[in-house]
Amino acid sequence: MSINAVHVEQAIKAIEKGYQVLCEKPLSINIDISVVDAHKKALRTHPNQKVICAFSRRFDASYREAYQKMFVEYAKTSGGIFLDCSIHDIDLMLRFIGENYKLKSVQAVGVTTVYHRLDSTKDHDSETATIEFQGGRAATLYCSRMMTAGQEDTTEIICERSSLKVNMQGRKNHVEVYDLDSARRELPQHYYERFREAFATEASEFTDCCLDNKPTRVPL
């Protein structure tokens, strides 16, 4: 594992050598340098090269089941809280709403209530954004760096006649603790604990794409 600031450089060097690349986000923190552009160039000499960004939630069993049930027509160098912490939510937003819908408007507001040193980087520890798409679709993102009780990632997809909710009441497992003071479910304590199986599925399916020259599941 390495810091966000070097992911792009590492990925581009591997792409230029013709390697198959499963890279960590972000794909760019500079508008002039992008993993996407490097891959497009590399395809001229390596037409079967596979490159995907590690959006592990796409490989999580709960999110996959939600998708199947739908009718589908470290702060200074992280790129900001949305790119750092909400990038998986943004990816899922595009997954469920549709990759080809064009943005119409974006509004965002953020506050710094705990990590006041973020002010110097023009970043926040809590933010919310409302994104409107052409075609009458919209999404709202809630993002916080302060999950002191443990890792909690929730998603609600509101459809025409129903809604789908993933992990709205976060839990580490199905164990419920009853003691003298309370009854409770424990939360995962970090991101990997919540999405461990998704990481394994992602790596396995990416390997299959490389070995069998199949299309990747995540459009770069």
Q: Which residues make beta-bridge pairs with 177?
A: 184
Q: What is the pLDDT of residue 72?
A: 47
Q: What angle do CA 199, 203, 206 make, to 5 degrees?
A: 135
What are 172-198's pLDDT values in tens digits?
Answer: 777 777 878 888 888 888 777 888 888
Q: Domains plus CATH for the chain?
A: 4-54 (3.40.50.720)
Are the CB atoms for 75 and 46 separated by under 8 Å?
Answer: no
Stretch 147-170: mean pLDDT, rounded?
A: 82
Q: What is the pLDDT of residue 74?
A: 58
What are 61-103's pLDDT values in tens digits?
Answer: 888 888 777 664 456 666 778 887 888 899 999 989 988 899 9
113 vs 1: which has the higher pLDDT: 113
Q: What is the pLDDT of residue 73?
A: 43
Lowest mean pLDDT across 97-101, 162-166, 169-173, 199-203: 169-173
Mean of the per-residue pLDDT values of the chain: 85
d(CA 215, CA 220): 11
DSSP string, 69-97: HS----GGGTT-HHHHHSHHHHHHHHHHH
Are the CB atoms for 165 and 145 separated by under 8 Å?
Answer: no
User: Is 49's pLDDT higher than 90?
Assistant: yes
**pLDDT band at residue 166, thresholds of 50, 70 and 90?**
confident
173 vs 54: which has the higher pLDDT: 54
Stretch 162-179: mean pLDDT, rounded?
A: 80
